[in-house]
Structure 1
């Protein structure tokens, strides 16, 4: 079975030899290596990325390629960061997948503050409603993002809240929250800031690229849609 159903593809290890025979003679095609996803996955119990059953399949496929006389390039993606590169090498991989290491938003970054990468992505929304069902606008959440907290900027100061978990059947219109304390009163439209692991291409959000944060001189460099097209 796949680690993530719906993200299946490729060959089972037992079919690799037949696939090599079938495709090796195609013009314009070169068989170079093997990969699968995800080969590593973060485990809260250990606090680090651990091998998945997909890794076993990738290693079995690599073995079949070697037996066919091909020295494969082995790519072991998912959860690649400075901290996991030695593990990728130990498992026989030559490549990973930068992904969330570029923005410091792997699941491990949420629990380990000593990783080399610095978190550099936030989800900015606003208060959509208050009263008995306080919520922020959705559109940028990701169901495996594990969003937990939100900071709301009111005219009278900041206020913290805890986000409710969203059931799998929900549509990303809003996300409910509960205030942590009796801070300054918020109003609809106040800015809400969250940090989470997202997948921007499955959201309705636009991406604002900001430089100069580290020097105290933030500058908006551009706004893009979820597939990277500049819109402003």
Structure 2
């Protein structure tokens, strides 16, 4: 879905990735990042958010918590992350991107609360229940600090991805705030939900979910109870194009993820300020049954769009020519993606060793793919920075830094 966008708006990046792969410096099965573009995107976003008084926390899971991504985001003016889980928090903290928000979407496990409170020291910690609030507050007390707690709220009719459900009943928010405020080691800081915005397939626009109305009503109830100075965290499908709408809806915190590398659903249908800065790279392995098989491992295509004909650019030389594009069959999600199958018809059929470039909205942290940072694309001197796994650990890949 994003291959057209990549080729049109960042062709040098595509050509650089092919060249570096052909030199043996990028492994097959790798998410590749244009770190200079990430820095630019972060700067664009952070400046727009600052003008609206919004606090920005960067989401890094989609690109495997890559340390170079974290550092590029910081150079762009975003100095805090939102950690989707504890491995995410540890990787971001290690890269120097401190934790602005922890516990949302994934709650902190009980026996990891002390580490989170004393070592990660998040600015905000989201809790779904009194039990998790007590764990967070007690851990903060043992660490000699007071923790700002965010209450995840929900009510009937709110939108959740299956498996994301949970939170306090929104109509009880005043009592919830009082209970959290009364915890030794904790204080009530605000409310959150997910998703506050979603891409609408029919209108091809980003629309508010019922959850955003739930946040507004809860904020009004809190204000009537004397709690007007609260944080309202409203993540989901976040690019600089939606910041004004979020600010008008009362949000105080925003959390771009795909927006920082130009792959929100809206980026696929409109030209937004952020440039595409990520691609997935593979390599042709062998032929069978009239198909060229390329290595998989990272072929998790985030299903924000209905199923569509996936295409890839296949070549042994740096190019973005349409003649190099081929249809690809991706294994169903019920199968392990050892390979994908490329149309191999015609005189210029793919051969083993050819580079395969995909443009899709990925989730690197749920795959077994590597994540590779590149700098210097626009200067004409692209160089690999680090190759890491989905936990942000550096991998000394064979040939990665060969001269």
Would you call these one fold, judging by a TM-score over 0.5?
yes
Tell whether the 8 Å contact from 1:143 to 1:166 is kept in structure 2 after alignment.
no
Partner residue of 1:79? 237
TM score, norm. by length of structure 1: 0.87
CA distance in 2, matches of 1:172, 1:69: 54
User: Where do residues 31-180 of structure 1 align in structure 2 (5 Å cutoff)?
Assistant: 31-71=188-228, 72-112=230-270, 114-132=271-289, 133-145=291-303, 148-154=310-316, 159-164=324-329, 166-178=331-343
Q: Secondary structure at the match of 1:213?
A: coil
1:52-95 CA-partner distances (Å, limit 9, x unpaired): 12222222332332233222211211111111111111222122
**Equivalent of residue 380 in structure 2, options 198, 216, 232:** 216
SS of residue matched to 2:188: coil
CA distance in 2, matches of 1:163, 1:90: 42
Partners of 1:110 and 1:156 in 2: how far apart? Answer: 24
Cα distance between partner residues in 1 of 2:349 and 2:311: 18
Cα drift, residue 166 of structure 1: 4.8
Equivalenced residue count is 230
**1:183 positional shift:** 5.5
Higher RCO (Cα < 8 Å, 6 or more apart):
2
Displacement, 1:221? 0.8
Q: Distance in 2 between matches of 1:92 and 1:32?
A: 15
Distance in 2 of aligned mates of 1:173 and 1:59: 46
1:150-204 deviation per Cα after TM superposition (whole angstroms, max 9, x unaligned)? 111146986212233654433333333436x735121233211011111221111
Output the CA distance in 1 between the equivalents of 2:163 and 2:273: 32
Does the 8 Å CA contact 2:292/2:350 hold for their aligned counterparts?
Answer: no
Deviations 1:13-44 (A, max 9, x none): 12323322322111221211111111111123
| Structure 1 runs, 4 residues or longer, greater than 6 Å off | 155-158
CA separation of 1:108/1:136 partners in 2, compared to 1, >3 Å: closer, same or farther?
A: farther
TM-score (norm 2): 0.52
SS at match of 1:214: coil
* Distance of 2:286 and 2:196 partners within structure 1: 41
Mark the CA change 1:229 to 1:45 in structure 2 (over 3 Å): closer, same or farther.
same
- In the alignment, which of 362, 368, 390 is matched to residue 204 of structure 1? 368
Q: Equivalent residue for 1:226? A: 390
**1:156–1:73 distance in 2 versus 1, CA, 3 Å:** closer
Structure (1 or 2) with the greater helix fraction: 2
Give the structure 1 partner of residue 175 of structure 2. 18
Looking at structure 1, the residues matched to 187 and 347 of structure 2 have their Cα atoms a distance apart, in angstroms, of: 62
Q: What is the root-mean-square deviation of aligned Cα atoms in Å?
A: 2.4
In structure 2, stretches of 5+ residues that fail to align are: 1-157, 397-403
Rate the CA distance shift 1:36–1:172 in 2: closer, same or farther, 3 A.
Answer: farther
SS in 1 for 2:325: strand
Native 8 Å contact 2:292 2:351 kept in 1: no
The 1:17–1:38 alpha-carbon spacing in structure 2 relative to 1, beyond 3 Å, is same
